[in-house]
Amino acid sequence: MIRIQKEKHIELIVDVLTKIGLTSEQAQMASEIMNYADVRGIDSHGLILLNTYIDRINKKIIRKNPNYKWDKKSEIISVLDGDHGMGHFMGHLAMREAIKIAKEKSLGLVLVKNATHYGASGYYTELAAKHKMIGFTTTNTMPLMAPTGGAERILGNNPISFSIPRQNEDPVILDIASSVVAAGKLILVNQKNEIIPEGWALDKEGNPTTDPNEGYEGGGTLLPIANHKGYGLALIMDILAGVLTGSGYGKNVGHSDIGFVMMAMDVDQIMPKEIFNKRLDSLISMVKSTKKGNENNTIYLPGEIEYLKKKEREQDGILINENLYKEIEKLTLDLEISIDNYFS
C-alpha cells in the first residue's frame, strides 16, 4: 500500500482533470468529492474511478465544458439541466441551490437531469448538514437489479442518503445503496477466486448463485435489500431521479443521462435549534447506550465509521493499493505530469 496525503490527493485529481480539458470549476468539485470518499474509506467512489471518468470524458459521454441551464418551477423547486457535465459539479451546484432556497423558504428541492455519475451521495447531504439543514439525495444509476421475480437488469441500485445536523458533533449521515452489496464487491471476490453468500445476487437466469462472476460480470443481477422492499425503494428513487427530472430511467439509464434529487430543510425554521439539538442528543444517547448483544460490539451511528476513518486518514494519509498506484503512474506519465509532485 502507498500513502498519499489528503491535500496532494486533491491536487492530483484537479491537475489530471484540468490537463485533459475539464473546466477548472468541474475539476475542483470532482476532486473535492472523490477526496471526500477516499478520506472516509468509501474507496469505491474515490481515486479508483479517475480512469473511468477520463475514459468517459474522452468519449464525450461527460462534456468538458457543459452549458448547464436552470429552470425554476416554483419558489421552492428548480430543475438543473446538467448538459452531460461532470456529475459532482452538477450535484454540488444543485444541493447549494436547494440550501439557498431552504434558507429563504424553509425547504428547497432541486432536480437534476442529463448529468453523469455524482460519486458519494453522503457528500451532498453533509453539505446540507453543514448549513444546519436536514439533507436528502438520491440518484439513479446503471441498471443492475431486477424487480422481484425477474432475471434482467431493469433498475439501478439507487442510493438513499439523509443527513441530520448536530451541534458540535459530526452529523448523522445515512448513505445506503438499495442492493445488498455493491457490484464492486462481487468483482473483488471474483478476483480472489472466492464465493459469495447466497442473497447477494442472482445469475442471468434468475437463480440464486454463490459464483461472483455469474452474479455480476457474467450478466446476473444484484439482489435488492429485503427483496421486494429494496426493489420498491429502487423503483421509487428511479421515478423521482429519472422520470420526474426528465433524465434517463429504468434499463435505459446511460452514463450521460443520470438524474439526481437534492432536498434541504432548514431545521431552525421548524423547531428552534437549541430544542432540536437537545432532543436529537437525547435520542442519540439512547442509541449509543443501548444494551449490547455482546460486550465487544460497538453501536455506531450512520456515518460514524466513515468519520473515524476520516480522522485516521487526515492524519496518516490515504492508502492506495499497488494496482491503483500503477494506473495513476501510467496516467500521469501519459499526461506528462510528474507523479512525484503528489506521492513523496
Question: Which parts of 213-232 interact with a second copy (CB under 8 A)?
Answer: 225-226, 228-232
Interface pick for a second copy out of 3, 8, 105, 309 (rule CB under 8 A): 105
Rule CB under 8 A: is residue 95 a binding residue for a second copy? no
Rule CB under 8 A: is residue 151 a binding residue for a second copy? yes
Which residues face 20 on adjacent strands? none
**Which string of b and e fits 248-286 if b means at least 16 CB within 10 Å?**
bbbeebebbbbbbbbbbbbbeeeeebeebbeebeeeeee
Rule CB under 8 A: is residue 206 a binding residue for a second copy? yes
Rule CB under 8 A: is residue 333 a binding residue for a second copy? no
Q: Whole-number minimum distance, CB 295 to a second copy, in Å?
A: 10
Interface pick for a second copy out of 16, 27, 86, 164 (rule CB under 8 A): 164
- Cβ proximity to a second copy: between 148 and 191 the closer is 148
Q: Where are the alpha helices (DSSP H) in 213-272?
A: 228-238
Long-range contacts of 12-19 (CB under 8 A, 24+ apart): 12/47, 12/328, 12/332, 12/341, 12/342, 13/47, 13/50, 15/337, 15/341, 16/50, 16/54, 16/331, 16/332, 16/335, 16/337, 17/53, 17/54, 17/57, 19/335, 19/337
- Considering only residues 106 to 145 of the shown chain, the ones binding a second copy according to CB under 8 A are 106-107, 109, 111, 134
Q: How big is the chain, counted in residues?
A: 344
**Which string of b and e fits 61-73 if b means at least 16 CB within 10 Å?**
bbbbebebeeeee
- Cβ proximity to a second copy: between 130 and 251 the closer is 251
Contacts of 188 (CB under 8 A, 6+ apart): none
10 Å Cβ neighbour count for 175? 23
- Considering only residues 289 to 308 of the shown chain, the ones binding a second copy according to CB under 8 A are 290-294, 297-302
The helix/strand/coil state of 340 is: helix
Interface pick for a second copy out of 176, 187, 337, 339 (rule CB under 8 A): 176
Interface pick for a second copy out of 174, 182, 337, 339 (rule CB under 8 A): 174
- Considering only residues 28 to 57 of the shown chain, the ones binding a second copy according to CB under 8 A are none
Interface pick for a second copy out of 52, 191, 207, 321 (rule CB under 8 A): 207
For residues 53 and 87, the answer to whether their CB atoms sit within 8 Å is: no
- Considering only residues 230 to 259 of the shown chain, the ones binding a second copy according to CB under 8 A are 230-233, 235-236, 238-240, 242-244, 246, 249-252
Q: Whole-number minimum distance, CB 265 to a second copy, in Å?
A: 8
Rule CB under 8 A: is residue 188 a binding residue for a second copy? no
For the window 262-291, what string marks contact with a second copy as x by the rule CB under 8 A?
---x-x-xxx----x--xx-xx--xx--xx
The helix/strand/coil state of 248 is: coil
Interface pick for a second copy out of 49, 150, 210, 312 (rule CB under 8 A): 150
Rule CB under 8 A: is residue 335 a binding residue for a second copy? no
Tell me which stretch binds a second copy (CB under 8 A): 12-20, 49-57, 158-166, 324-332: 158-166
How would you class 1 by CB atoms within 10 Å of its CB: exposed for 0-12, middle for 13-18, buried for 19 or more? exposed
- Cβ proximity to a second copy: between 35 and 277 the closer is 277
Tell me which stretch binds a second copy (CB under 8 A): 35-43, 150-158, 313-321, 325-333: 150-158
Contacts of 317 (CB under 8 A, 6+ apart): 3, 4, 5, 6
